[in-house]
Amino acid sequence: MIGQLSGLSFNQPKFCSLPAWNSVGITFATNNIISGDPYSLFITSNNSIYVVDRSASRIYIWLNNSFYPTITISNGLSGPRSVFVYNNNNDIYIDNGNSNNRVDKWILNTNTTVPVMSINSSCYSLFIDTNNTLYCSLDSYQIVVKKWLRDNNTTPITAAGNGTVGSAANTFNYPNGLFIDSNFNLYVADCLNHRIQLFYPGQSNGITVAGATSVNTTITLNRPTGVTMDADGYLYISDYYNNRMVRGGSNGFKCIIGCSGGGVASNQLRGPRYMTFDSYGNIYVADTDNYRVMKFIYSNSSCGPTTTGLTSITSTRIIQSSTTSMKRSTTILSSTRSSTYSILTTHEPIQSRSTKAVIGYLIQCLILFILYI
């Protein structure tokens, strides 16, 4: 069973200690719907799905569990790479920096756009924290910038990185995916340094929490492009060149999706750039180099008994005759809200067939006796 942190526009599920997902995915969308390559995606807390198609300069939106996209945004966009949705699907923040040098807020119910951040190139990733601060990773400039959305000034400030390529604690080599937790800690997928960097608030030096150079090396990454987190602080990483999704924390990481190598099969990925959750804990992956979006179902049985189970109820019947007593038991399976198995025994007297036959014979003899008299 999963829970969910409240007050967020995206899904941050709370799982048990050892969650698992079906290794065979379901194709949610492919190039018969998405004309180009799915670069990233976003799922709101009410399960509206947004897919960024960079090569076609479009944002596809599935509202209210629709089978096909209900809205497509394309006007004025130039090669968008990321999207973040805020305020109950109404405010859509879109990277429009490729040639337009800005991040736009698309107001859905009025179908209008407002520039909110001025940038020099496109944002690989966008994120808005709970303090209404918008973050953008400018990978070609080797920095992460931020801006408070309640300030009308569209010029951002640097949040991490010093603008030079490097592997030091204060530098990046193409910063990609972003995540900011409830304590305003910044996580960055430092792609070509093959690591995930953690920056505490106000700190310019990052700590490597995943990758070959981490303090406790538990996994080797190859060009990670995305990072997100569940409600218990476990990281989920899009390991792009290893064609897989990994999950873990301070005690280690393990592969959860795409663990049989890259490819086109339903249990494989090829160049996955981004992943996110729906409210049920299912994982959606932008399987970019396969030109598709894949859905991997969360296994409710992965953590033992669930909240719904089968209870075994035994009903015992007593069969009586003039000379012997016998017991007959039957087992009934019924649904219950408890995962504990219990036994309920009931007793019901039943008259046997032999007793009925003796009584019937005596009645017939009595009738014949009366007629003879």
Condensed to tens digits (0 to 9), the pLDDT of residues 327-366 reads 333 332 233 332 322 223 333 333 434 444 445 555 665 6
Whole-number Å distance between alpha carbons of 74 and 71:
10
Q: What is the pTM of this model?
A: 0.80
The reported pLDDT for the residue numbered 238 is: 98
pLDDT digits (tens, 9 = 90+) for 46-77: 999 999 999 999 999 999 788 899 999 998 99
pLDDT digits (tens, 9 = 90+) for 276-320: 999 999 999 999 999 999 999 999 887 764 433 322 222 333 333
pLDDT digits (tens, 9 = 90+) for 240-276: 999 999 999 877 899 999 999 999 999 999 999 999 9
- Give the pLDDT band of residue 368 (cuts 50, 70, 90): low
The reported pLDDT for the residue numbered 360 is: 58
Tell me: pLDDT of 137 over 60.
Answer: yes
Q: Which residues contact 204 (CB under 8 A, 6 or more apart)?
A: 160, 162, 170
Tell me: pLDDT of 26 over 60.
Answer: yes
- Give the pLDDT band of residue 370 (cuts 50, 70, 90): low
Whole-number Å distance between alpha carbons of 102 and 301:
45
pLDDT digits (tens, 9 = 90+) for 176-228: 999 999 999 999 999 999 999 999 999 999 999 999 888 777 789 999 999 99
Domain locations in the chain?
Answer: 20-299
Tell me: pLDDT of 130 over 60.
Answer: yes
pLDDT digits (tens, 9 = 90+) for 92-107: 999 999 999 999 999 9
What's domain 20-299's architecture? 6 Propeller (2.120)
> Reading across the β-sheet that carries 91-96, which strands appear in turn?
83-86, 91-96, 102-107, 112-118
Type of residue numbered 14: K
The distance between the two most distant Cα atoms of the chain, rounded to a whole number of Å, is 125
The reported pLDDT for the residue numbered 250 is: 74
Q: What are phi and psi of 141, to 5 degrees?
A: -105, 0
- Give the pLDDT band of residue 141 (cuts 50, 70, 90): very high
The reported pLDDT for the residue numbered 92 is: 96
> Which residue did the predictor score with more confidence, 64 or 156?
156
Beta carbons of 57 and 80 less than 8 angstroms apart: yes
